[in-house]
Amino acid sequence: MFSINLVILIPFIVAALLPFTYRRFKKAHLGWFVLIVPFVLFVILARLIPSVASGKTYVHTYEWIPTLDFNFTTYLDGLSMIFALLITGVGSLVILYSIFYLSSKESLQHFYCYLLLFMGAMLGVVFSDNLMVLYVFWELTSVSSFLLIAFWNHRQASRYGAQKAMLITVSGGIAMLVGFIMLHTMTGSFSIREIIASISEFSEHSLFIPAMILILLGAFTKSAQFPFHIWLPDAMEAPTPVSAYLHSATMVKAGIYLVARFTPVFGADEVWFWVVSIVGMITLFWGSFNAVKQTDLKALLAFSTISQLGLIMSLLGLGSIALQFGYSADSVLYTQATFAALFHLINHSTFKGALFMVVGILDHELGTRDVRRLGGLMTLMPFTFTVALIGSLSMAGLPPFNGFLSKEMFFAATVHIMNVDIFDLSSFGIIFPVVAWIASVFTFVYCMIIIFKAFLGKPQPEKLDKPIHEAPFGMLISPMILAALVIGIFLFPNLLGQYILQPAMSSIYPTFGDSADLTPKISAWHGVNPELLMTIGVIIVGAILFKFLKLWKPIYGLFSSRFTFNALYSNFLASAVSKSNLITNRYMNGLLRHYLLYIFVFFIVTVGGYLFYSKAFAFDISTNAGFRVYEVCLVAIMAVAAVSMLFAKSRMTATLLNGVLGYSIAIFFVIFRAPDLALTQLVVESVTTALFLLAFSHLPDWKKEKLSKRTKGINGIISVAVGLLVVLVGLSVVDFNQFDPISSYFENAYELAGGANIVNAILGDFRGFDTMLEVVVLFIAGLGVYSMIKLRAKKEDENIEDQ
């Protein structure tokens, strides 16, 4: 049986092997080996298209933590198939492009390792049926994208962009996690399929709306929706293959996937419709409006990506309204908005991926992306210009390119929504087509900027760092394939609709029955209708605005940079850093005595205060066993040793007295018949004493701290209070009988864990996770120390070579 788990795991396995195998590829580019992974996965998934199109789904469950309902359950249906094909298909083209884009002098093993980690994480997101597993992969996409954005970490802008993307997307991910937990609280399940099947019973639950909003926060931050869009332009500091992959086809589409996947869960509620559609519309307009003023082509594409993501998001919101009315001829009409969203999702990945690669070619071959330094490249870079022309016109929504088809469907959806009677939508519904049309006008303008400013006009070789020349053929292969898809989809759109989009519609509208009713026939010519008139208006007005761009572009100067979301983010971050530094410097003063003081005072206030407030201090020592003489003597020895340490005048004396305390405790363990604990205590105490004595030669001279009487008095009071509190807690615990003791449970250690020694069974089985994580922490610390030593040795070797 086909297992999707393997599709997810293969990129991780190869990524884990790269650090050990990359040295074998010194003669050949490492990318040729890595390219095999996404290509093979794409072929495997492509072979399943006919079966998925016929309605078959693939489910595989690996029990992870079944007691907590955490199972690694993967689910392949029409919706996940679209995203999986984009992840592997575009991933193959991006890796092929990067082979010619990245120099062999780059740290290629790191780059491809991060890229494969991201690919595996994205596949995990779209295939996961369990909410907790989905969340793990979701955050892994943020971590791997952070590493990819900061790949050129010697650049301050790259580090800043990576940090910004990480903070915003991870914050949204945490909100999404809380939403997932709320969903589980309502439904009792972490399975998305089970939640979809039972959610109608919980639509009136008090947690329904909060869970919806929190999940949308996760989706909006990941897909750069307003006002969380600010991280995407700064993420453009990543290498162009990363931008073409993460920021046009995959990572930013994760939020789109989440909204589409949870539309059957929340789509029947009006709040979902309003929030998703309005946020999408605002993002659509704001992204297109800001794209026009950019002079860096990559920044222009970043804002255009924000705009296009808003378009897709708004369509998903508009299409969700069909779930509020149930299956009918009228509601099926509204599902066409969702169909347009999925269609444009694919179209956007093709033309935007091609455009990012074109901009990468210009930067790589000419040394600049600034449109003010470009011009006249059409005749000198004809292949690059052809791809740019196809991608730009498709993004502008012109025929004969696939963007025209989905843009027309977008206009049709906004027109249809005006007829819906919901929250007096008859009066507000006009906003949707108006905003859509205005945003499309700006989209047309910035597409013309790409074509006319960069490729037409007069060449400016004196402003370029390198002579104008066409890119190597290898670098052109990937964008040319994407450009061919742009035209091919326009010519044969219904092939895509039947085998790819139709099963995805069934996933989003599972209660609507036959998906064929949800799949409209796509045609290039659909008569003279409102959407065609809107397109003609976009072309006319857009051409006029582009012609007189210099006259109205100064309007952008009216927006002060002090009142932007970027400024808000920067001010908040700067304030948080300064305040945290101020607070940290107050207590991190280098004095161990102060650190212990904070710890002990906190212990006294929290533990002592709570126990006193709850009246938990209750004990009766009359029934306790009596004290034997040797026990009293041993306690006296320990008390004398502890007090004597306070007056010790050398480290040697203090260490030996501390050893007296430790070995005395070991004797107590022997008396109370705990040989394992006694042996452990003896070993630890011996090693600790030896390490203390070994470290003496590296420590500064002994200088006893001179303290005022007031400080000594405070220290004494706190010390006595801590000791007294520990004694009282110990005595109270002995007589605490409000709950059944757990000791009887561990007495069955042999039956439960197969261990004859209870202590070993507790450490190795009952506390297995805790012990494992302790070992992992020590392992990570060891790796850190080893890495620091190796880096220091490498730096010293470099300094010697320089001398």
DSSP letters for 128-180:
B-BHHHHHHHHHHHHHHHHHHHTSSTTSHHHHHHHHHHHHHHHHHHHHHHHHH
Does an H or E element contain 413, and which? Answer: helix 402-416
Q: Contact 235/248 with Cβ under 8 angstroms?
A: no
What is the Cα 84 distance to its own chain's centre?
18
Tokens of 706: 């001179």
Q: Which of 214, 185, 84 is nearest to 137 (CA)?
A: 84
793 shares a domain with 720: no
Number of structural domains found in the chain: 3
Q: Contact 134/72 with Cβ under 8 angstroms?
A: no
406 shares a domain with 525: yes
Q: Contact 402/486 with Cβ under 8 angstroms?
A: yes
User: Considering the domain boundaries, does residue 68 fall inside one?
Assistant: no
392 shares a domain with 291: yes
470 shares a domain with 397: yes
Please report the pLDDT score of residue 793 as a whole number: 62
At 68, phi and psi to the nearest 5?
-100, 5
625 shares a domain with 533: no
527 shares a domain with 440: yes
772 shares a domain with 710: no
- Output the CA–CA distances (angstroms, integers) from residue 263 to 184, 321, 374, 396, 526, in the order listed: 17, 10, 44, 28, 29
CA distance 295 to 543: 19
486 shares a domain with 396: yes
648 shares a domain with 541: no
User: Considering the domain boundaries, does residue 773 fall inside one?
Assistant: yes
Tokens of 147: 């590493």
CB atoms within 10 A of CB 582: 9
- Output the CA–CA distances (angstroms, integers) from residue 102 to 150, 234, 238, 475, in the order listed: 15, 21, 12, 10
679 shares a domain with 625: yes
Per-block mean pLDDT, blocks of 10 residues, the chain (803 long): 81 91 75 93 94 90 80 91 95 94 87 94 94 95 94 90 94 96 93 91 92 96 93 92 88 94 93 94 95 93 95 94 77 87 95 94 90 90 95 94 94 87 65 94 96 89 86 93 96 91 91 72 86 94 94 85 83 88 83 86 90 78 76 89 84 86 90 85 90 78 75 88 89 74 78 79 79 88 87 60 52
CA distance 568 to 517: 47
772 shares a domain with 682: no
CA distance 112 to 141: 14
Q: Which of 327, 345, 487 is nearest to 406 (CA)?
A: 345
Q: What is the span of the domain harbouring residue 674?
A: 584-746
CA distance 462 to 368: 12
452 shares a domain with 441: yes
